[in-house]
Amino acid sequence: MFTEEEFEAAARRHMDGIFRLALNYMGSFSEAEDVTQNVLIRLYKARRPFESPEHLRYWLVRVTINESKRMLLSPWRRTESLELLEDRAALPEENRGLFKAVMELPDKYRVPIYLYYYEGYSTEELAKLLKIPGSTVRTRLRRGRERLKESLGGAENV
């Protein structure tokens, strides 16, 4: 069980990561914000010990995935156009093309790419996290990369 200070420290350390993963699932800043809040509330109420920082991080990723999937199934959704997403991301010019291309990908490609390339999970760990076979993870990573290359016009170093 967290103390108040431990909760705040953990929330501040992990909320950007939770938000990014949720954004990859939801494709909406508003909904990613909702998911982030829900996950932090679950963390606050979690009456369980975490064995290590890695255990906590893994638990948060798992809860974020579950919370995102739950919200995706909800009939209540808040849609955001790609233009609005780009505005809200407020990225520098050099990042915008890649961000747009990534957000145009279906979430089944976007999420493994995020967890693999940003969070650094292995394909075996991703298979456990996403509850899909390792071969499917590798296929989705490959297809996601191919789609990114196509949408960016085969630009070098996509």
Partner 1 sequence: MFDRDKYVDCFSRLRAPKDTLEKVRRRLGGHRLWNISRTGLIAAALVPLFVLTAMAAGLSGVFTRTLEEGEKLEGSMSVSSGNGSREEKNVSIDGASLCLSFDIQGECKKVYFRPGWLPGEEHPSYTDEEGYSNIIYGTEGNKGDILCSVTVYTGEKLKDMNYFFFGETRLLVQDEWLDWQRLEVEQSLTAGEGENRKNNFLLLFSPKHSYLLVIAGEEAAGTDMEDLERVAKELEINVTDKPTIAVKQKTDFANIGLAWG
Task: State the residues that interact with partner 1 by CB under 8 A.
Answer: 3-5, 8, 11-12, 15-16, 18-20, 23, 30, 33-34, 36-37, 40-41, 44-45, 74-81, 84, 88-89, 91-92, 95, 98-99, 102, 113-114, 117-118, 145, 148, 156-158
Decide whether 130 or 148 has the Cβ nearer to partner 1.
148
Distance CA(29)–CA(89), nearest Å, equals 8
Q: What does DSSP assign to residue 156?
A: T
Decide whether 88 or 128 has the Cβ nearer to partner 1.
88
User: Would you call 140 exposed, middle or buried from its count of C-beta atoms within 10 A (0-12, 13-18, 19+)?
Assistant: buried
Decide whether 23 or 129 has the Cβ nearer to partner 1.
23
User: Smallest distance, Å, CB 128 to partner 1?
Assistant: 22
Distance CA(50)–CA(124), nearest Å, equals 22
Residue with tokens 């650094």: 120
Decide whether 102 or 126 has the Cβ nearer to partner 1.
102
User: Smallest distance, Å, CB 147 to partner 1?
Assistant: 11
User: Smallest distance, Å, CB 64 to partner 1?
Assistant: 12
Q: 53-73 vs 29-45: helix axis angle to the nearest 10?
A: 130
User: Smallest distance, Å, CB 117 to partner 1?
Assistant: 5
User: Smallest distance, Å, CB 82 to partner 1?
Assistant: 13
Distance CA(12)–CA(5), nearest Å, equals 11
Distance CA(28)–CA(82), nearest Å, equals 9
